[in-house]
A and B are shown apart, each in its own frame.
Chain A
Amino acid sequence: MPDLLAARSQMAMSLAFHIIFAVVGIGMPVLMVIAERRWQKTGDSICLDLAKRWAKGTAILFAVGAVSGTVLSFELGLLWPKFMLMAGPIIGMPFSLEGFAFFTEAIFLGIYLYGWDRISPRAHLWAGVAVAVSGAASGVFVVIANAWMNSPTGFDLVDGHIVNIDPIAGMMNPMAFQQTLHMTLASYAATGFAVAGIHALLLLIDRTNAFHRRALSISLMLGAPAAVLQPVSGDISARSVARTQPAKLAAMEAHFETAASVPLTIGGWPDVERGETRYAIKIPYGLSLLAFHDPHAVVKGLNEFPREDWPHVPIVHTAFQIMVALGSYLALLSLWIGAMAIRRRDLVSNRLLLGAIALSAPMGFIAIEAGWTVTEVGRQPWIIYGVLRTADAVTPMPGLVIPFILSTLLYCFLGVIVAWLLYRQIIRSPKPTEWTRVYSPREVARG
């Protein structure tokens, strides 16, 4: 395995792993706050149990996310020292802010987890809100740093060196708003539907279980609105990509020749050598409409760029299709759920709907991984778009396949165990003997 490929694979794997924890760390605190608020208003003890379970889930995932995040902050230097040499003084800003948001989240999560009997209910709820807000803020700051890599601003390039740095302008880059909006909504949709899907599955088995019913309704309150808004945010993002990174858009759509009135390509397999996409469905004027809101707009094709500046078209195109397909499924499903809710129908009595929700459990996360594949692979061969090539940023250290294999094994091990723990701690319906443990793990440990 060549060193560059090993480094890219290690980075891709670390991010793919970390993002799951980051996303749950953004979404799950919202669930726990909604559940606590409901408990305080209605006195429903199931909601209290849910709030505690979700708080515990947040704690487990936050802890694993904290270590995988620490790893990433090192990996940037271990794998891409020349990138950080150039970019550090600019993207260090959002990373510093992220550090503070992360610390705030840790503090208030500690207060939330251990403060049930030590502070007033009101203060406790607000501590939960602080966890949710700072969790979302850390996500936003990290995505801003990534947006800068896609549309770098806030400096002048003189002889290959970055000068006249303006980190604030760097943070206000043209992709910052679009990407952060898209990612925050994605976090809510993915977490909401993952939780809803699991409980829907359990309701298919045990329809009367009040615990799963409550969990389902709360998680859909978060997931469904986010999933409905997501296509709008996707449209905003796509139009910005068309303007700032035309090569990426062309790869997403497997669009080879510049033309006007371009159709939208759905599915198919791009044949890069022949410059055509076979077996695809084409919707007339679709791409021109989506990218520029004008059916006759000219859309740049890959032919405008030198061959060595193309990203890997089949990967980017396929990943984009997967993201859009799954996102559309979640949005349509949410509309169905919304229609049912407005007519005050019982969601649980409709087995078809429950099945559809159960099926959606992994979809948000797959869509997120696919979406990041589009963003990252679509930017190649650049690490900073138009400024620094990935191949020029990699560490000179040889034998990078070894750290890649090591970290793969480590992440697989962690992934399996986290899944097992979450099942035991959060998803399974509670047994009476477990109540003590929920309240005080330590007591049981001794007893």
Chain B
Amino acid sequence: MAEVGLSDILAAVLAFSLNAYVLFGGADFGGGVWDLLASGPRQRRQRDVIAHALGPIWEANHVWLILAIVITFTCFPAVYARLGTLLHIPLSLMLVGIVLRGSAFTFRTYDSQHDATQRRWGRIFASASVFTPVLLGVSIGAVASGRLAGNGTGTFVQQYVEPWFTPFGLSVGLLALVLFAFLAAVFLTLETSDRQLCDDFRWRALVTGVAVFFVSWLVLVLSRREAPLVTEGLLGSRWAIPLHVATAASAIGVLAALWYRRFRLARVGAGLQVSLIFWGWPLAQYPFLVPPDLTVEHAAAPDTTLKLVLIILGVGAIVLLPSLWYLFQVFKSAPADQETGHA
């Protein structure tokens, strides 16, 4: 293996911040999915649990996406320019989803508590929570499939639609949606002390956990034809077997933990499982950031910039980590719906 350069470190940081967005932002999106699918006798209370779980932190999770974007345009400007140009349509639609979702949630929290108003905001919030992850997945699928060569020829559809509107892209979109819903369901089991409510989310987690397995297979099968780099990486490379074994182990572990109501264990396991599935993507296409031509080394900004970004990340972490730790200390308390009054 070649020497690890500054650009490799920053590419790794980029992947980590996307991983964090998938975990934390993903759980937020998934919460919206379960808001949409809330059903049964405890429908209203399911929605309350979701709203409260999102409440204190929801603005903060976009920071991982912003961090990924900023690292991309500072350290890998060619990648940012390429994606901004060729994925204009899915990324713009994704933004519409992010805006509608975030605002609808705020408005629902602060607007009148009448049922009709609440439902209206709730519907916008929930439907945006479904289509935004799909578009995120579709964009990732387009990158992985190596169709973003950007030679600037062809019709509008050939240049700006065909690279992402593919069965493989859509399957990655579906995978993102199912993964986020799964994460949220697992996380939500710990957000309530009511056993019946907890069971609602437990069942949802078990069902989506199984769905994750099937959709992952679908993605892998479609990748053979449409994203050869991914297939090669996931089936042929040295890390492939350990990765699959670890993923399978954590998947089974999560299902077992859910079954036996070991919810804390399930939460950790689900985070691990989703991260492992996520990492299959950057590992498979390394050293490419945007196949078939933009590699980590090739697309990187000058070393001066890379060094400074690393320093800023370090200093930023020194400020942020204690602040975050303090935030969690302040909120370390009983499940949401047990708290009383005067918060």
Report which A residues bind B (CB closer than 8 A): 56, 59-60, 62-64, 66-71, 73-79, 81-82, 84-86, 88-90, 92-93, 95-97, 99-100, 102-104, 106-111, 113-119, 130, 165-168, 395-399, 403, 406, 410, 414, 417, 421, 424-425, 439-446
Extra A-B contacts (16), CB below 8 Å, given A67-B103, A100-B316, A406-B92: A70-B98, A74-B92, A81-B81, A84-B73, A85-B78, A85-B81, A92-B309, A95-B70, A96-B313, A97-B316, A104-B319, A107-B323, A114-B330, A166-B304, A167-B304, A403-B92
Report B139 CB to chain A, min CB distance, Å. 11
Task: State whether A66 touches B59 (Cβ < 8 A).
Answer: yes
Most buried by A among B56, B73, B85, B301: B73
State whether A107 and B84 are in contact (beta carbons under 8 Å apart), knowing that A117-B342, A424-B111, A439-B341 are contacts in the complex: no
Does B217 reach chain A (CB closer than 8 Å)?
no
Task: State whether B308 touches A168 (Cβ < 8 A).
Answer: yes
Q: Lowest 3 CB-CB distances: which A-B pairs, in order? A: A92-B74, A77-B84, A88-B77
Please, how many angstroms separate the alpha-carbon atoms of A102 and B70 in the complex? 13
Q: Mark interface residues in B314-343 (1 if CB within 8 Å of A CB, else 0).
A: 001001100110110011010000000111
11 A-B pairs in the complex with CB atoms less than 8 angstroms apart: A77-B81, A89-B77, A96-B74, A100-B319, A165-B302, A397-B88, A424-B112, A439-B341, A440-B341, A440-B342, A444-B113
Does B67 reach chain A (CB closer than 8 Å)?
yes
Chain B residues with CB below 8 A from A410, complex form: 96, 99-100
B84, closest chain A residue (CB): A77
State whether A103 and B309 are in contact (beta carbons under 8 Å apart), knowing that A56-B110, A88-B74, A117-B343 are contacts in the complex: no
Report B323 CB to chain A, min CB distance, Å. 5
Chain A residues with CB below 8 A from B341, complex form: 439-440, 443
Chain A residues with CB below 8 A from B110, complex form: 56, 60, 421, 424-425, 441
State whether A74 and B91 are in contact (beta carbons under 8 Å apart), knowing that A67-B102, A103-B63, A439-B341 are contacts in the complex: yes
Task: State whether A442 touches B69 (Cβ < 8 A).
Answer: no
Report A145 CB to chain B, min CB distance, Å. 11
Chain A residues with CB below 8 A from B319, complex form: 100, 104
Please, how many angstroms separate the alpha-carbon atoms of A73 and B66 in the complex? 7
Chain A residues with CB below 8 A from B327, complex form: 107, 110-111
List B103-144 residues whose CB lies under 8 Å from chain A: 103, 105-107, 109-113
Does B165 reach chain A (CB closer than 8 Å)?
no
Task: State whether A67 touches B98 (Cβ < 8 A).
Answer: yes
Task: State whether A118 touches B309 (Cβ < 8 A).
Answer: no
Report B194 CB to chain A, min CB distance, Å. 13
* Residue in A73, A77, A113, A445 whose CB lies within 8 Å of B113: A445
Does B60 reach chain A (CB closer than 8 Å)?
yes
Chain B residues with CB below 8 A from A104, complex form: 319-320, 323
Task: State whether B99 touches A68 (Cβ < 8 A).
Answer: yes
Q: Is the interface of B mostly helix, strand, loop or mixed?
A: helix
Chain B residues with CB below 8 A from A97, complex form: 312, 316
State whether A421 and B70 are in contact (beta carbons under 8 Å apart), knowing that A85-B78, A119-B330, A440-B343 are contacts in the complex: no
Report B192 CB to chain A, min CB distance, Å. 13
Task: State whether A71 touches B98 (Cβ < 8 A).
Answer: yes
Report A73 CB to chain B, min CB distance, Å. 5
A79, closest chain B residue (CB): B84
Does B16 reach chain A (CB closer than 8 Å)?
no
Report A406 CB to chain B, min CB distance, Å. 7
The number of chain B residues touching the other chain, given as a range, is 35 or more
Please, how many angstroms separate the alpha-carbon atoms of A443 and B78 in the complex? 50
Report A245 CB to chain B, min CB distance, Å. 25
State whether A63 and B103 are in contact (beta carbons under 8 Å apart), knowing that A165-B305, A445-B48 are contacts in the complex: yes
Please, how many angstroms separate the alpha-carbon atoms of A39 and B62 in the complex? 34
Task: State whether A114 touches B95 (Cβ < 8 A).
Answer: no
Task: State whether B103 touches A102 (Cβ < 8 A).
Answer: no
Does B41 reach chain A (CB closer than 8 Å)?
no
Task: State whether B343 touches A84 (Cβ < 8 A).
Answer: no
B44, closest chain A residue (CB): A446
Report which B residues bind A (CB closer than 8 A): 48, 52, 56-60, 62-63, 65-67, 69-71, 73-75, 77-78, 80-85, 88, 91-92, 95-96, 98-100, 102-103, 105-107, 109-113, 152, 156, 160, 301-302, 304-305, 308-309, 312-313, 316, 319-320, 323-324, 326-327, 330-331, 333, 341-343
Task: State whether A103 touches B84 (Cβ < 8 A).
Answer: no
State whether A398 and B69 are in contact (beta carbons under 8 Å apart), knowing that A96-B312, A107-B60, A167-B304 are contacts in the complex: no
Chain A residues with CB below 8 A from B88, complex form: 78, 395, 397, 403
Please, how many angstroms separate the alpha-carbon atoms of A403 and B89 in the complex? 9
Chain B residues with CB below 8 A from A75, complex form: 95
Task: State whether A414 touches B343 (Cβ < 8 A).
Answer: no
Please, how many angstroms separate the alpha-carbon atoms of A406 and B84 in the complex? 17
Report A155 CB to chain B, min CB distance, Å. 10
Please, how many angstroms separate the alpha-carbon atoms of A78 and B96 in the complex? 13
Chain B residues with CB below 8 A from A425, complex form: 110
Chain A residues with CB below 8 A from B96, complex form: 406, 410
Please, how many angstroms separate the alpha-carbon atoms of A115 and B332 in the complex? 11
* Residue in A397, A399, A446 whose CB lies within 8 Å of B48: A446
* Residue in A78, A165, A417, A444 whose CB lies within 8 Å of B92: A78
State whether A66 and B330 are in contact (beta carbons under 8 Å apart), knowing that A60-B110, A78-B84, A85-B77 are contacts in the complex: no
Task: State whether A81 touches B70 (Cβ < 8 A).
Answer: no
Task: State whether A77 touches B92 (Cβ < 8 A).
Answer: no
* Residue in A88, A114, A417, A446 whose CB lies within 8 Å of B103: A417
Chain A residues with CB below 8 A from B66, complex form: 69-70, 73, 99, 102
Chain B residues with CB below 8 A from A111, complex form: 326-327, 330
Chain B residues with CB below 8 A from A90, complex form: 305
Chain A residues with CB below 8 A from B109, complex form: 441
Chain A residues with CB below 8 A from B316, complex form: 96-97, 99-100, 103
Chain A residues with CB below 8 A from B57, complex form: 110
* Residue in A71, A73, A86 whose CB lies within 8 Å of B70: A73
Chain B residues with CB below 8 A from A67, complex form: 62, 98-99, 102-103
* Residue in A96, A396, A424, A446 whose CB lies within 8 Å of B309: A96
A70, closest chain B residue (CB): B62
Task: State whether B98 touches A397 (Cβ < 8 A).
Answer: no
Please, how many angstroms separate the alpha-carbon atoms of A109 and B330 in the complex? 12
Task: State whether A84 touches B60 (Cβ < 8 A).
Answer: no
Please, how many angstroms separate the alpha-carbon atoms of A82 and B78 in the complex? 9
Report A125 CB to chain B, min CB distance, Å. 15
B102, closest chain A residue (CB): A67
Task: State whether B69 touches A74 (Cβ < 8 A).
Answer: yes
Report B125 CB to chain A, min CB distance, Å. 12
Report A74 CB to chain B, min CB distance, Å. 6
Please, how many angstroms separate the alpha-carbon atoms of A70 and B101 in the complex? 13
